[in-house]
A = this chain, B = another copy of it.
């Protein structure tokens, strides 16, 4: 497949770097202020070197990438809430041109799912978005393969929050202390709100709900509680009882809920550090657990490229 990648952060850059190993070609790469476009294929190393050295990927206008001769648009700009722009417009343009779209950006499918599906229905292109839920973990493709048999999903979908809770439990340290440590390690951002308030996990659960119920949930439909107010004593009490606290997202019975929950220490759900896990309840195949790295450039790019491999050839 011929890929145009919009967004040249960790995920976009990794897609460019790894595409060759999956036998795909990069014909365009755009960041927010520049683009490189070459219908005969870009050289991954040189375009990424240029970005590193000059801050620009090339001399073209970002909009030129959207008009390149690609089969699949990889949308890897940052997730935005509300109107999910500019990701949504990028997706619309690709579908209008009857091209496929693979999203790493959660916005369009978390905030405007009904519109995405309606644009897709009018296009010869398809939209896939495995990378938006659980990074490297193959959640959405497994749900798709099970063809309607998945009845509920729950799991740990934010590595930053899980790292903080794991460290608080293991070391008996308070929230503020562990958050500072996570920031030093680069596991938490300077402004950790998105992760510790549960917003990021909630967006992923909203996407799961949209897929499971084929409906248009958005962030405001989720019942969300974060971990910032969790006292260390709660973790101590849990430990006395062989349990721990995890930030669990759940999609069940039509509702989306995210919040700190007690989990037995030996439960598959109590993964440690920045790991993510998803449990799928199925009608006929029992419960499936899938865990692995929920974030990171190459990890998320692997999910993007697996999606590309699942797309049918464009007629």
Contact = CB atoms under 8 A, between A and B. Distances in A.
A305 B136 CA distance: 24
A138 B136 contact: no
Contact of A138 (B21, B138, B147, B283): B138
A293 interface: yes
Interface string A137-148: 110011001111
Interface in A263-315: 265-266, 268, 271, 282-293, 296, 298-299, 301-303, 305-306, 309-310
A301 B283 CA distance: 12
B289 A302 contact: no
A18 interface: yes
Kindly name the residue among A137, A149, A283, A284 whose own CB sees the greatest number of chain B CB atoms within 10 A. Answer: A284
A159 to B, nearest CB: 11
B290 A18 contact: no
B284 A299 contact: yes
Contacts of A136: 282, 285-286, 288
A255 to B, nearest CB: 24
Contacts of A298: 284-285
A293 B289 contact: no
Contact of A288 (B23, B137, B141, B149): B137
A297 to B, nearest CB: 9
A288 B290 contact: yes
A148 B21 contact: yes
A286 B137 CA distance: 10
Contacts of A149: 21, 302
A290 B293 contact: no
Contacts of A18: 284
Contacts of A147: 21-23, 305-306, 309
Contacts of A292: 285-289
Contact of A285 (B283, B290, B302): B302
Contacts of A306: 145-147
Interface in A3-29: 14, 18, 21-23
A284 B268 contact: no
A138 B145 contact: yes
A299 B288 CA distance: 11
Given A138-B288, A145-B309, A285-B299, 9 more contacts: A21-B148, A21-B283, A22-B147, A137-B288, A138-B142, A147-B306, A147-B309, A285-B303, A290-B290
13 contacts: A14-B284, A21-B147, A23-B147, A137-B288, A138-B141, A145-B306, A145-B309, A146-B302, A284-B302, A285-B298, A288-B290, A288-B291, A288-B292
